[in-house]
Amino acid sequence: METIIKKIDAENMTSGDFKDAAALLRDGKLVAFPTETVYGLGGDAFDPTASARIYAAKGRPSDNPLIVHIADIDELKKLCREVPDEAYLLADKFWPGPLTMIMKKADCIPKETTGGLDTVAIRMPSHPIARRLIQETGLPIAAPSANASGRPSTTKAEHVIEDLNGRIEMIIDGGSSDIGLESTIVDLTVKPVQILRPGFITIEMLKAVIPDIVYDKAVLKREKNDSVVARAPGMKYRHYAPKGELVIFEGEPDRVMDAILEASGKKLEEGYVVGILASEEFAGDYVAGISKKWPVLGTGNSSGREPYALIEVVGSRDNEETIAANLFDKLRDFDAKEIPYIFGECFPGDNLGAAIMNRLVKAAGYHIEKV
Ligand code: TXA
Ligand code: MG
């Protein structure tokens, strides 16, 4: 099928911009759209065939439930069998925004949408294009991240085109997602309330509303052989992964830098191209260290044909929001150059760092070298 790419300017949009997208969604077809977290792959949440199409387009296992997106708090009563008080307290503080809440589902939500579960995940996004699309369609929109299953989530329309062109009816291009990591997911069906996926809304922020909230054990999992099973079905799959082998190094920043230089040198010596996922603070040191002996792409001493290092700056250690915003984009850059070995720094795991490390550890398939 031919995928229509539709540019919309959030600062200057009209109903007419959404006419075709809304008609497609009402007809059970799929439309990818920007949200403040990542791009979503939308379909009518009430339509089991639309959900089946979403799973097929992504190549996603059908036991992995979708998040239902709404634009009006009154929808909660319609979509959930029970709405606990905490839901309204959290919505009051964090909606519209990057928070997803799990509650018992009402009968109007088909099991195809919830991967067979009796619960449903609901989020009210803040991105103006996402909100307007939901309003103009007049339906709750089921939307997982708009990436091929297993790959890093998409934060730009170009990423969605890479993964889903020809597989869905339309992609709305609304520029880059601000946050860059998927929403925080909380499960309100258990006591104490649990965080199933960390995101921009941190545990500290949530504790201000629900003091006894805790992480699901799987969120903090660092060892591949640890037998804890994720309660969000999607978190158990290999995820966010670049095609190359990613190893992350944990320890004192200086030792991490030395270890990354050593690991890179070894692979370059063997004739491989390597990638380094670097913080702004260390990027210059990697360039200096590598270029003593090897070419670094983009610095003028590499033709891109010999073993070289590609150093991607993911953000500043002093500003985690920049790291969150760039992480998936940078992982995709390594793929675009088919880099077989990628070495990356670890970041402190509190606040937004918890979400960053959760994605990084999964992207690395739990391959963490302690130095
Ligand atoms: O920021 C986001 O949440 C983005 C944008 C598009 O809104 N969406 C997103 O969806 O990240 P997805 O499908 O890639 O991730 C949803 C996660 C999966 O891990 C899934 O297993 C979990 O939410 N989930 C959904 N419904 C659930 C439920 N009823 N119980 C437990 N986990 C659920
Ligand atoms: Mg996803």
Residues 176 and 254 in one domain: no
What is the mean predicted confidence (pLDDT) over 267-295? Answer: 96
Report the percentage of the chain scoring pLDDT > 90: 88
User: Closest-lying ligand to the alpha carbon of 67?
Assistant: 1
Q: Is 331 close to ligand 1, i.e. is its CB under 6 Å away?
A: no
Q: What percent of the chain has pLDDT over 70?
A: 99
**More confident: 222 or 66:** 66
Is 34 inside a domain boundary?
yes
**CATH number where 47 lies:** 3.90.870.10
In the structure, what pLDDT confidence band is assigned to residue 239 with cuts at 50, 70 and 90?
A: confident
**Ligand 1 centroid to residue 121 C-alpha, Å:** 7
Rounded mean pLDDT of 103-124?
98
Reply yes or no on whether the pLDDT at 164 is more than 80: yes
- Is residue 58 located within the same domain as residue 160? yes
**Domain boundary residue among 154, 183, 212?**
183
**Is there a domain that residue 205 lies in?**
no
120 lines ligand 1 (CB under 6 A): yes
Ligand 2 centre to CA of 38 (Å) is 9
Check residue 237 and give its pLDDT.
Answer: 63
Taking the centre of ligand 1 as the mean of its atom positions, its distance from the CA of residue 70, in whole angstroms, is 14
Domain assignment present for residue 71? The answer is yes
The predicted structure's pLDDT at residue 153: 97
State how many domains the chain has: 2
Q: Which residue has the higher pLDDT, 220 or 311?
A: 311
Average confidence (pLDDT) over 196-214: 98
Domain limit, last residue, from 156, 183, 210: 183
User: Within a domain: residue 236?
Assistant: no
> Domain containing 291 — which CATH number?
3.40.50.11030
Structural domain includes residue 19:
yes
56 within some domain: yes
Residue range 21-61, pLDDT digits in tens: 999 999 999 999 999 999 999 999 999 999 999 999 999 98
Which amino acid type is present at position 170? M
146 shares a domain with 61: yes
If asked whether residues 267 and 139 sit together in one domain, one would say: no
User: Which region among 89-103, 126-140, 216-230, 243-257 has the lowest average model confidence (pLDDT)?
Assistant: 216-230
Mean pLDDT of the chain: 95
356: CA distance to ligand 2 center in Å? 14
Ligand 1 mutation pick, 30, 69, 100, 239, max ligand atoms within 8 A of CB: 100
Average pLDDT over residues 201-215: 98
Phi first, then psi: what are they for 283, rounded to 5°? -55, -45
Cβ of 195 closer than 6 Å to ligand 1, yes or no, is no
Cα 161 to ligand 1 centre (Å): 21
Range of the domain at 146: 4-183
Instruction: Please give the model's pTM, rounded to 2 decimal places.
Output: 0.96
pLDDT(238) > 70: no
pLDDT of 236: 67
**Does the beta carbon of 196 lie inside 6 Å of ligand 1?**
yes
Asked whether 144 lines ligand 1 (CB < 6 A), one says: yes
Cα 184 to averaged position of ligand 1 atoms, centre (Å): 9
Q: Residues 37, 177: one domain?
A: yes
- Pocket test of ligand 1: the residue of 39, 177, 179, 185 to mutate, having most ligand atoms within 8 Å of its CB, is 185
Same domain, 12 and 153: yes
Mean pLDDT over residues 78-85, rounded? Answer: 97
Residue 227: pLDDT band (50, 70, 90) is confident
Helices (H), 142-294: 157-164, 203-207, 253-269, 280-291
In a shared domain, residues 134 and 35: yes
Are 165 and 257 found together in one domain?
no
Task: Specify the DSSP element, H or E, that contains 245.
Answer: strand 245-250
Domain boundary among 155, 183, 211: 183
Averaged pLDDT, 64-91 = 97
pLDDT number for residue 232: 79
Distances (CA, A) of 198 to 104, 120, 215, 219, 347: 21, 18, 8, 7, 15
Distance CA 286, CA 308 (A): 12
In a domain, 10, yes or no: yes
172 in the same domain as 94? yes
**Is it the case that residue 225 has pLDDT exceeding 90?**
no
Same domain, 279 and 164: no
- pLDDT for residue 12: 97
| Max CA separation in the chain (angstroms) | 64
Is a pLDDT exceeding 90 seen at residue 155? yes
Query: Could you tell me if the CB of 235 is within 6 A of ligand 1?
Result: yes
Does one domain contain both 10 and 133?
yes
Cross-sheet strand order for the sheet of 245-250: 309-315, 274-279, 341-345, 245-250, 368-370
- Write out the H or E segment, with its range, that includes residue 324: helix 320-336
Cβ(47)–Cβ(28) below 8 Å: yes
The DSSP bridge pattern shows strands 194-197 and 184-187 to be antiparallel
Q: What is the pLDDT of residue 77?
A: 97
Do 265 and 143 sit in the same domain of this protein? Answer: no
182 lines ligand 1 (CB under 6 A): yes
In a domain, 328, yes or no: yes
234 lines ligand 1 (CB under 6 A): yes
Report d(CA 89, CA 62) in Å as an integer: 32
Predicted confidence (pLDDT) at residue 156 exceeds the cutoff of 90: yes
Residue nearest to atom 7 of ligand 1 (CA): 40
